[in-house]
Structure 1
Amino acid sequence: MFFEDWRGYLIAGFSLVWIANIYMSLFCLLRQNLKAEKIEAKIKNIEYNDLKN
């Protein structure tokens, strides 16, 4: 980082946690979106089968 002493380690530690939180948040949003699309597809498939029969 910018500092070569203990302050650099402190800043690097906080930035590592911050970046990890961003990646985990993005992964969570992506997973929720995929799960919602899967549920919608199942509902449409059930409705289609009901109309077909």
Structure 2
Amino acid sequence: MRLGCAAHQELTREDPNEGSVSEIARRWGFVNLGRFAAAYRREFGENPSETLRR
């Protein structure tokens, strides 16, 4: 499953104090956070939590 830029954009806009990677993963249909993280890492070269913290 290709995540596209929308998930990445969502992670860059989300306030890390108010949102979480798991919430965004669920919005994209992932029930397994590890699979979301692996797919995201393959596509963007970093963990989704790293994107969220920046």
Q: Considering only CA atoms, is the larger Rg found in Structure 1 or Structure 2?
A: 1
Shorter-chain TM-score above 0.5 = no
Q: Give the TM-score normalised by the residue count of structure 1.
A: 0.25
* Larger RCO (alpha carbons 8 Å, 6+ apart): 2
Please state which structure has a larger fraction of its residues in helix.
Answer: 1
Please report the TM-score for the alignment, with normalisation by the length of structure 2.
0.25
